[in-house]
Amino acid sequence: MEQKLFAFVACMLLLTGLIPMGASQENLEGDILYVDDDNTQGPWEGSIDHPYQYIQDAVDVANDGTTIIVFNGLYSENIILSQSVTIKGENKELTIVDGGSSGGVITIENGNNIFIENVTIQNGIDETENDGWGISAISTESLVISNTIITNNEVGILLSENSKDCMILKNNIDNNDVGVDICTSSTNLIYANTITENGINLILFRSTGNMIVNNNIYGADINLQFYTSGDQLYSNYWGTSSSIFFAIGKIEIESLGFVLPWIKFDVAALSTIDSFDHNPIARMKTSMGTMMIEMYQSKMPITTNNFIRLSEIDFFDQLVFHRVIDDFVIQGGGYYDNGTNKESPFGTIELEINPEVNHVDGAISMARTSDPNSATSQFFICDGAQNRLDGNYSAFGKVIVGIDVLRSIASVETKTKHGFMRDWPVDEVYILEVEILYT
């Protein structure tokens, strides 16, 4: 009961207590700034020769898009940021940010497109009690936390106040009072993490549309505390005996195959530890919302790698979905809004088929001509299962967050445009950006 009360209070305090942000100054160095805790003599101008001594100093002068490289060391500070920056440590075990015995380590408010990777986040490691959060994101979109150690905090990661489209990927989250708390937030992806030995490993509080996939979640008195509906949990390892507390409502766990009432129960392991096939994730931002797509690289290497290469050169940015058929597919990756075709610099790829990868609802696959080996850059996403395409087209992944975005795009009004292009949306639907995140 005490743990449940703490989780609720911590969430509500962060909902109501907004934290002022630091003032932004002119970026003195450009797109890359450096931080080194051993820089005690100065000058501190942010270059690789004279790096900043503190991470917050670099954040304060960073523009959107700046990468902040943090060298190995112990950084005792509380960081507040809202800029679209990347904070990247040299080594996740040796680049340590310690918030001390009070407050939070990293606080993000109204942020967008922030990346935190390859660091250790902790709060007062020498203290007898954890105090403060590791990373708190308030009203934040498209935050990515990856390959990071988050330990000895009151709450390891908190997403609150309608934070959405965030990705928590392949982190080690342990020995916190609460590991991950998703509070009144939606369409976030928690994927391929090890969340273990926390007081409570995972809380879902009044959240919806979140995906919790391929995680190791075990070793806590309460592995999951659930006050919500509409989230999906599947292919997670819960340990040999998983204590999951349900308050009100219901949840469907795919591997068990039935809907469970809100009760406290123990459930047998759904898988074995470290048995998951962790795949790259594509975050596709469109003018109608964001979709996160898991790509089956080991099963479809040719097709997946082609899509990754195109994404990495920003090929898809500002192209449109030019063919939209409700209950069938949305197709893009080949045309600008004026009807001009854009050709892939990498040419065609061969037809790749794997009987384990089919055209299920939300599947992404490659478009082609009558020549089976003619696919280049155009792809389609299935609106509903399209099994008749199996064996003839190269499906290579699936939408795991944002199926509602797929449905919205598929239902737009269409007409013939640019002379002969049928099923083209009346109002353009743009692909704004495709980011590839490796796990």
The conformational region for residue 6 under phi > 0 = left, psi -120 to 50 = alpha, else beta, is alpha
The Cα–Cα gap between 418 and 420 comes to 6
Q: What is the CA radius of gyration of the chain?
A: 23
Contacts of 237 (CB under 8 A, 6+ apart): 215, 216, 217, 218, 269, 270, 271, 272, 273, 275, 276
* Sheet architecture: strand order including 79-81: 79-81, 106-109, 133-138, 155-160, 178-183, 200-205, 222-227, 242-246, 265-267
Residue 318 has pLDDT above 60, yes or no: yes
pLDDT of residue 92: 96
pLDDT greater at residue 267 or residue 361: 361
Q: Worst-scoring range by mean pLDDT, 60-64, 221-225, 283-287?
A: 221-225
Q: What is the DSSP letter of 388?
A: G
Sorted by where each starts, the structural domains of the chain and their CATH numbers stand as 2-267 (2.160.20), 281-437 (2.40.100.10)
Q: DSSP of 164-182, one letter per residue?
A: BS-EEES-EEESSSEEEEE
For the stretch 63-81, what's the b/e string if a residue is b when 16 or more beta carbons lie within 10 angstroms of its beta carbon? beebbbbbbbbebebbbbb
Cα 12 from Cα 56, distance rounded (Å): 27
Round to whole Å and give the CA distance between 323 and 425.
7
Nearest to 189 by CA among 169, 159, 206, 163: 169
Residue pLDDT, tens place only, 12-59: 444 333 322 222 333 333 489 999 988 878 889 889 989 999 999 999
What's residue 326's pLDDT? 98
pLDDT at 260 over 60: no
List b or e across 259-296, with b for residues whose CB sees 16 or more CB atoms inside 10 angstroms. Answer: eeeeeeeebeebeeeeebebbbbbbbbbebbbbbbbbb
Instruction: Return the minimum-mean-pLDDT range out of 258-272, 289-303, 424-438.
Output: 258-272
What is the mean predicted confidence (pLDDT) over 250-277? 53
State the pTM of this model.
0.84
Percent of the chain past pLDDT 70, that is, above it, reads: 82
3 — phi, psi (to 5°)? -65, -40
Alpha carbons within 13 angstroms on the beta-carbon side of residue 326 total 7
Tell me how far apart the terminal alpha carbons of the chain are, to the nearest angstrom: 35
